[in-house]
Amino acid sequence: MLTTHPFDDDKLHEECGVFGILNHPQAAAITALGLHALQHRGQEAAGIVSFDGDFHVEHTMGLVGDHFSTEAVISKLKGPAAIGHVRYATTGAAMMRNVQPLFAELEFGGFALAHNGNLTNAQSLRRQLVRRGCLFQSTTDTEVIVHLMALARGGSPVDRMIEAVRQVEGAFSLVAITPKQVIGVRDALGVRPLVLGKLGDSYIMASESCALDIVGADFVRDVEPGEMIVLDESGVHSMRPFQQQPRRLCIFEYIYFARPDSVIEGSSVYEARRRIGEELAIEAHVPADAIVPVPDSGVPAALGYATQSGIPFELGIIRNHYVGRTFIEPTDQIRHLGVKLKHNANRRVIEGKRVILVDDSIVRGTTSKKIVEMVRAAGAAEVHMRISSPPTAHPCFYGIDTPEQDKLLAHRFSVEEMREFIQADSLAFISFDGLYRAMGEPRRDPDALRYCDACFTGDYPIRLTDRDERDSIENLRPALRA
């Protein structure tokens, strides 16, 4: 089969999405709808766990709508409480045993857990847990938390969860379900988003506010960095299991990951992207006849660029939304079509024109090169590329599936070398100060950062225990061989 995977791989992949609800007679159906709204955060697999006195677990590979849209499936997920997850693998291979929510029978009863993010000491903890006799059923980092809860000294599920999450490092927004509660936790720096909503008498926690919109729930507030929310029959309870630290929300949520109709920490994602486009037009404008977004993530920034520059916005590239990850039997000719499986130039609006292409990022550069080539072939007189993020030169260890550093174009090349690689007439990225101005700050101030921007700077705000241990072992090997 021909896979579109090589072209998908030229993006930073969405991490995962989580959803939980308590005290609703159709909890599983509401959860499925919420997961539909979060589908952009992970298209590899999905799962729901519900509780009605017994736990009911349903996992599937693929999209939410391919499995959870039928009454036959939803009717098996009984009960007034449920949690759900959509997954793109950042740790652990793509296989059914890694699909979340993970479920286990612990001393206090059943427990299920869904996780958005990545634990940076998971391998270190896993080795310790295996030495203590723990038997792992998956290869995902999330299972470490389940085993830590099983071994915890203390009584209640909430106490055990607090003990477990205090031992892990990294970025995480979690939702969990016990026989009596739905629990949500956000890491101390708040790298990954989590929101609280209300639907009638029911409370909801979800990765983004768009998941509340789809089910008709009201947004209550963001779950704060370092906060644990416990939903039970008596209401909403807030706890602070971590020492307070400066918040560092992932800035790529605003650039690319979150849905444009979401609001994160009080800021509209759509408006942020438009402002980034406006800053790009101020910083790096060239004379042109059309502003063309690379769909779909480049659209809001392109609108902002067009507004600021006064140049018409045109849908000069049309995306095919119906191409899956496998398509047809390959031939050399079909392979050569490449990016046209997903994008096609709209010749009528770009032929003979000087075109500015606006996209959110360049990762490996292969798709950008193909798109520039495609727009030229459709008759564009000039093709300029503008990127609404700084160059992505460092891998992410906090829940984004990025290539290894030597595969990142910005790590290997200067901007001019990148321009030559993608064969654009010019290439420019938004500056750090321009990005932060768009986010409502005058500049990037290292002493007062509110965001994690490690994929641009290499400034990792959370310790990378597993990476550092691995690097230490690699550095020892030449000496050991000698």
Q: Which segments are annotated as binding site for [4Fe-4S] cluster?
A: 250, 396, 452, 455
Catalytic member of 7, 11, 12, 16:
16
- Tell me the binding residues for Mg(2+): 297, 359-360
Active site residue 16: yes
Question: Quick check: 355 and 316 in contact, CB under 8 A?
Answer: yes
Q: Which residues are documented as binding site?
A: 250, 297, 359-360, 396, 452, 455
The 3-class SS string of the chain reads CCECHHHHCCCCECCEEEEEEECCCCHHHHHHHHHHHCHHHCCCEEEEEEECCCEEEEEEECCHHHCCCCHHHHCCCCCCEEEEEEECCCCCCCCHHHCCCEEEEECCEEEEEEEEEEECCHHHHHHHHHHCCCCCCCCCCCHHHHHHHHHCCCCCHHHHHHHHHCCCCEEEEEEEECCCCEEEEECCCCCCCCEEEEECCEEEEECCCHHHHHCCCEEEEECCCCCEEEEECCEEEEECCCCCCCCCEECHHHHHHCCCCCEECCEEHHHHHHHHHHHHHHHHCCCCCEEEECCCCCHHHHHHHHHHHCCCECCCEEECCCCCCECCCCCHHHHHHHHHHCEEECHHHHCCCEEEEEECCCCCCHHHHHHHHHHHHCCCCEEEEEECCCCCCCCCCCCCECCCHHHCHHHHCCHHHHHHHHCCCEEEECCHHHHHHHCCCCCCCHHHCCEECHHHHCCCCCCCHHHHHHHHHHHHHHHHHC
Supply the residues annotated as catalytic. Answer: 16
